[in-house]
Every structure is written in C-alpha cells, then in structure tokens.
Amino acid sequence: MNPLSAIFGNRVQVSNLSSDEFEKIMQENDNAVLIDVRTPGENKEVRIPNSKLIDMMDPNFIEKIESLDKNKTYLVYCRSGNRSFYAVKEMLKLGFENVHNLEPGIIGWLGEIERG
C-alpha cells in the first residue's frame, strides 16, 4: 500500500458535470438513472423529470443505494451539488463505476423541471 494512501485514504475521483454535460448523458444513455438525493419536501417543490428520490438524510440511504444495479449509469443531483458530490463519492466506494454529479445542483440546472 502506498504510504500516502494510508494517511489520506483512497481518493475517489468524482465526475462533476455541468448542466449541459449532465443533460447530454441523460439524453444519449437509455441506461441512465437519475437520482435526487434531496429531502422529500425539496423534491416535491421542484425536480428534474423522471428522477428517483433517494434522500441522503434517510438513515437507510446506503442500503437503498446498495440495492441499485451497479451496471447502470447514475446521474445524481441535489440543490447545490454538495450532497450529491458526497453521495456519488459513497457510490464509487460501494463499487459503482459510472456515476456523475450535477456540479451546480438543481439551482444551476438549465434543462426541464417539474413543480408540485
């Protein structure tokens, strides 16, 4: 083991995407699953269409993530890109390989949204 890895841990590289890059993967990949890691209240207010809510604050968050198919592509978002960054990091640690974070969050999303 690299001595620096012991000190700093295994650095996982998160794929942070702009709104345009995120939307491009959504449109081009039929296998992609859109995940909203915000709270149910935030999701009810506004969301990207066809997203699956898996609240990061839910005590069963890791169990719910572990039940997902690791062979699919996941596009993860939250309000500002912070929670989704950490959610993607956890997913990568769990063995998911194709996971992307919407870096600006839904507040920086330029695509279609649903309300209510």
Is 78 noted as a catalytic residue in this protein? yes
How far apart CA 85 and CA 18 sit, in angstroms, is 13
Which residue, among 56, 52, 42, has the nearest Cα to 106 in the 3D structure?
42
How far apart CA 34 and CA 78 sit, in angstroms, is 11
How far apart CA 20 and CA 11 sit, in angstroms, is 26
Q: Which of 65, 78, 87, 88 is catalytic?
A: 78
Within 13 Å, how many C-alpha atoms sit on residue 18's CB side?
2
Task: Give catalytic residues, as residue numbers.
Answer: 78
